[in-house]
Amino acid sequence: MKVEITASAVKNLREKTGAGMLECKNALTEAEGNEERAIEILRKRGLASAKKKEGRVAAEGIVGSYIHMGGKVGVLVEINCETDFVARGEDFQGFVKDIAMHICAAEPRFVSKDEVPEELLNKEREIAREQALSDEKNKNKPAQVIDKIVEGRISKFYSEICLLEQPFIKDQATTVAELLNRVIAKIGENIRIRRFVRFKMGEGLEKRKDDFASEVAAALQQ
């Protein structure tokens, strides 16, 4: 059965890869409408511009900032591009501002999966396995099914803590990685979210806790 390739599907693939409309349509046709396979096809043919630009040096860029809640939460993020001309452009600066705002709201801990410490990942995988095995619904399921459940939970874990894996706050149907690829395709330069830091007022400080009842009791004994 032949899969119908819609104009919307072609447009979405073009935005994510920067490839031409015809190349996107042909890739989707070959992939029977599966977008991920179509992206892989385009990359293998050297037509996905975001992938082609990955190896190019991105040493320019800006450090963007976002302050929220009257100074209670703040973000600094470094995003690199290839030229100072692009760094000063409206599209790039708008992207930096959006990413800073996203970090403020979504609270990622790492930029990408590669930055997640192995120790943290192993611990999370162990917890996920224990949860899966203790669930009555999984009591008689084979090991390979349990493995899939665990990896599904790890994927969810990545989407919670890794910036590039998170759904973009302004468009939940798009991940930050997909948004980045669209911007790369539009601007025509390699762009890299290098690092960020998020500050929250008072975070990590031990706040004073008044035990009013104890104070009253102590006063009555005097």
Residue closest to 106 by CA, chosen among 164, 64, 191 = 164
94 lies in the same domain as 176:
yes
Q: Count of domains in the chain?
A: 3
Report yes or no on 28 lying in a domain: yes
Q: Please check whether residues 78 and 17 belong to one and the same domain.
A: no
In-domain check, residue 66: yes
CATH code of 85's domain: 3.30.479.20
**CA distances in angstroms from 82 to 35, 60, 139, 184, 187, listed in the order given:** 28, 5, 54, 11, 11
**In a domain? residue 98:** yes
**107 in the same domain as 64:** yes
State which residues form the domain around 35.
7-52
In a domain, 155, yes or no: yes
User: Residue 19 falls within a domain, yes or no?
Assistant: yes
**What burial letters (b/e) apply to 104-135, b meaning 16+ CB within 10 Å?**
bebebebbeeeebeeeeeeebeeebeeebeee
Q: Are residues 195 and 103 in the same domain?
A: yes
Shared-domain flag, residues 41 and 65: no
- One digit per residue, the tens of pLDDT, for the chain of length 222 reads 577 889 888 888 877 776 777 888 888 999 999 988 888 888 776 666 566 666 666 779 999 999 987 889 999 999 999 999 999 999 999 999 999 999 999 999 999 999 999 999 999 999 998 888 888 887 788 888 888 898 899 999 999 999 999 999 999 999 999 999 889 888 888 899 999 999 998 887 765 555 555 655 555 555
Please tell me whether residues 121 and 195 are part of one structural domain. no
pTM: 0.68
126 part of a folded domain: yes
